[in-house]
Amino acid sequence: MSKKSFKYYDYEVLMGGISYDYYDYEVHCRVKAGVVLPCEHPYGMNCRCNARRYAGRTIAWAREREIKRGEVKVKAAKLRVLAANQRTMAAGYRRQAAHPIYPGQDLICLSKAAISSALAARSETKADLLDASLSFTDPRSNPGIY
């Protein structure tokens, strides 16, 4: 059970360590008998809330999946930072290619800039794929993330 104050729960009966009929503030969904209740948003709304995402699943399972979703978000953010650093490196190589110190340095720097730009594009694409994997509303459609 969450360490939230009892005033946040509508009705709570503790039996065997399981809370009944409460709102879980960590996953942001209503729970009854340890199972996530479906949301009350209109079906055509495509709300993408956790109650719709995890409806019918146990709250322990939903919490575990939220942790995995958080890890995926962190991984995507790290890839975006890496891509930004690679783009900065490519820009530095291009600046150096504009003012070569020795003959042939401009070709070397432009080649390194192209490689760094390609690596940045790859890192950004991986981050986009991770973000896209989080956009699925049905956990059964992407079992690797959910």
Q: What is the pTM of this model?
A: 0.67
Rounded to whole angstroms, how far apart are CA atoms 36 and 50? 9
Per the listing, tokens 């340890």 go with 34
Residues 68 and 117 in one domain: yes
Residues 121 and 64 in one domain: yes
Q: For residues 5-25, b (16+ Cβ closer than 10 Å) or e, as one string?
A: eeeebeeeeeeeeebeebbbe
Residues 53 and 103 in one domain: no
Residues 50 and 119 in one domain: no
Residues 63 and 46 in one domain: no
Residues 86 and 135 in one domain: yes
State how many domains the chain has.
2
pLDDT of residue 133: 84
Residues 82 and 144 in one domain: yes
- Of 29, 74, 70, the residue nearest 53 (C-alpha): 29
Residues 45 and 77 in one domain: no
Per the listing, tokens 């800039």 go with 113
As a whole number, the mean pLDDT across the chain is 81
The domain of 18 spans 1-57
Residues 76 and 121 in one domain: yes
Residues 132 and 114 in one domain: yes
> What are the pLDDT digits (tens) for 78-104?
999 999 999 999 999 999 999 999 999
Residues 131 and 79 in one domain: yes
